[in-house]
């Protein structure tokens, strides 16, 4: 009997001690020691409100999700460098809001952009450079793929020759002079390579393709040829791709996009 009385008194104390303090924001519950507040939301058929973060892989999905859930006060925040967009569905309006229901689009880069930027300015042995060009041939459109394939195969075939010098020709080509030992006889030859070439790739997944100029560079060390390329102002290409997505999202959501983060 005694333990039943104690349990009843404890339950009564808990009920009596719980109270809301204040009518406005910042309400608190005062509880006796050993008690805690528990939400009953998890026992309902549905949550009390929408919350969570949804991450999208393309701008179209970002727009569709934002438009489906947005209300008058929903806002979009973005940055160009690094590119990314955050749509806050339950953002502050005239009254405060939780701001914890969001959709994000981090503008993932394409595999092609990552490949070309990863090897930008990376010095390669003659054979390594030839293999790189051949592996990424579909991205090159100027000179033609056939011409670049011929250059890469010539570089591969001449990997055992001794390069002596290089000059820039009037037609914009670069001419490399080499010496080759053929059956004990030294033979001289020349190899022409373009000073620049162009690639056409998408920068952001689902985005528009860009034409990007690459400067072809070389160095002759102890008769060995080392080659690399340099992308021309790649940061501006990425910036332009992000701005194009920015403009499209602004149009498709009919929202002002705030330049900032949250």
**Tens digit of pLDDT for each residue in 201-215?**
999 998 889 999 999
28 and 140 in one domain? no
The pLDDT, as a whole number, for residue 18 is: 47
Q: Are residues 33 and 119 in the same domain?
A: no
Q: Of residues 176 and 246, which shows the higher confidence score? A: 246
Range of the domain at 170: 111-233
Domains contained in the chain, number: 2
Summarize the confidence of residues 37-66 as an average pLDDT. 92
Average pLDDT over residues 122-135: 91
Q: What is the mean pLDDT of residues 65-87?
A: 96
* Domain membership flag for residue 207: yes
Is 89 within the bounds of a domain?
A: no
For residue 117, being part of any structural domain is answered with yes
Is pLDDT at 168 greater than 80 in this prediction? no
Secondary structure of the chain in the HEC alphabet? Answer: CHHHHHHHHHHHHHHHHCCECCCCCCCCECCCCCCCCCCCHHHCCCCCCCCEEEEECCHHHHHHHHHHHCCCCCEEEEEECCEEEEEECCCCCCCCCCCCEEEEECCCECHHHHHHHHCCCCCEEHHHHHHHHHHCHHHEEECCHHHHHHHHHHHHHCCCCEEEEEEECCCCEEEEEEEEEECCEEEEEEEEEECEEEEEEECECCCCEEEEEEEEEEEEECCEEEEEEEECCHHHHHHHHHHHHHHHHHHHHCCCEEECCC
Q: Is 185's pLDDT higher than 90?
A: no
């Amino acid at each position: 009997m005694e333990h039943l009385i104690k349990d009843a008194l404890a339950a009564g104390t808990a009920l009596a001690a719980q109270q809301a303090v204040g009518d406005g924001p910042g309400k608190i519950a005062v509880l006796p020691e050993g008690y805690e507040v528990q939400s009953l939301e998890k026992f309902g058929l549905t949550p009390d409100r929408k919350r969570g973060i949804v991450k999208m892989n393309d701008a179209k999905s970002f727009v569709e999700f934002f438009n489906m859930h947005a209300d008058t006060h929903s806002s979009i925040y973005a940055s160009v460098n690094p590119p990314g967009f955050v749509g806050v569905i339950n953002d502050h309006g005239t009254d405060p809001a939780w701001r914890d229901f969001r959709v994000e689009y981090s503008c993932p880069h394409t595999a092609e952009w990552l490949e070309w930027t990863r090897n930008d300015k990376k010095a390669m042995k003659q054979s390594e450079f030839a293999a790189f060009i051949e592996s990424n041939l579909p991205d090159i459109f100027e000179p033609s793929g056939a011409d670049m394939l011929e250059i890469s195969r010539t570089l591969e075939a001449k990997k055992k020759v001794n390069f002596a010098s290089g000059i820039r020709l009037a037609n914009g080509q670069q001419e490399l002079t080499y010496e080759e030992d053929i059956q004990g006889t030294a033979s001289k030859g020349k190899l022409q390579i373009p000073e620049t070439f162009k690639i056409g790739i998408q920068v952001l997944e689902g985005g528009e393709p860009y034409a990007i100029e690459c400067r072809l560079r070389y160095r002759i060390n102890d008769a060995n040829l080392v080659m690399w390329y340099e992308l021309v102002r790649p940061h501006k290409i990425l910036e332009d791709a992000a701005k194009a997505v920015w403009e499209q999202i602004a149009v498709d959501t009919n929202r002002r996009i705030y330049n900032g983060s949250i």
